[in-house]
Structure 1
Amino acid sequence: MPADGQSHIRVARPSRDLAAAERFWVAGLGLSVLYRAQSHGVPGEHDLLMVGWTDASWHLELVQEAGAAVRPSPTEEDLLVVYLDEEVPDELVARLEEHGGKRVLSPNPYWNEWGVTVEDPDGYRLVLCKRAWSNS
């Protein structure tokens, strides 16, 4: 089966603190925990948290391995954009901040005009865009 528009997408990222990430993405944004696994200290294994909306064709995988060399190193352009097709609710931004997020300005003026950018506890950026998605 070839990859196409119906293929499910997983975005995988390292995390320094899965509990903090879960607070941000689940309690803050409103995603669900789809799966979790713990390494229980087994060498070469890692703790894993998958979050997303159950009806979405994508999910976010966050991994943490004690003593691992891979650490989050996001840039200002590592974005996960959610198109809301409405104004960004102040309550949502406040909830994200209450759960470990930090509102920041984007170096790209487009995102400042059309949305709100919030860094998660690992420094990755979530953009809540008030526009609707259009591929045209």
Structure 2
Amino acid sequence: MIDQHTHIRIARPSNDLAAVERFYVDGLGLSVILRMSQEHDLIMLGWPAAGWHLELVRDPAAPVAPVPTEEDLLVIYLDGSVPPELVERLVAAGGKVVPSLNPYWDTWGVTIADPDSYRLVLCTRSWTNA
């Protein structure tokens, strides 16, 4: 049954798994949940108790190039200010602060492109589906 406890996996290709791992682990603070190198190289990243994880994959024999748009966003609601040291860590780990296509995200947070050019938004607001 699908309900509020169902786990979600967000999967996408990567050009450089080591670079995105640095960004999300060293920069954002996610954990490596799983790493595999078989037919595809992949890493699964997240927080151990979270209801979601991010899977990044690369097939060395037939790589699929990431094709991110300015609207492909992974938004993390912080319910408070964005710590400057977190932004500095993400930039040091290969990210780049970029303006958002939608000015809402510039008003309410910071947008950072990861090494594959997908965008992470650190939002100062909170969120609930209730």
TM over 0.5: yes
Mapped to 2, the partners of 1:101 and 1:76 lie a distance apart of 15
2:26 alignment partner in structure 1: 27
- How many residue pairs match? The answer is 130
Aligned pairs for 1:40-55 (under 5 A) are: 45-55=39-49
What secondary structure is seen at the aligned counterpart in 1 of 2:19? helix
1:92 to 78, 86, 95: 86
In 1, Cα distance between equivalents of 2:89 and 2:64: 29
TM-score, normalised via structure 2 length: 0.97
Shift of 1:69: 4.6
Query: Which residue is equivalent to 1:115?
Result: 109
What is the distance in 1 between the residues matched to 2:9 and 2:129?
21
Output the amino acid matched with 2:70.
Answer: E
Gaps spanning 5+ residues in structure 2: where?
Answer: none
Q: CA RMSD in A?
A: 1.0
2:34 maps to a residue whose letter is: Y
SS of residue in 1 equivalent to 2:43:
strand
Does residue 102 of the first structure (1) align with residue 87 of the second (2)?
no
Partner of 1:83: 77
Taking the aligned partners of 1:56 and 1:68, their CA distance within structure 2 comes to 31
Greater gyration radius: 1
Once residues 134 and 6 of structure 1 are traced to their aligned partners in structure 2, the CA distance between those partners, rounded to angstroms, is 14
Structure 1 residue runs of 5 or longer lacking an equivalent are 40-44
What is the CA distance between 1:68 and its match in structure 2?
Answer: 1.7
**Deviation for aligned residue 1:134:** 3.1
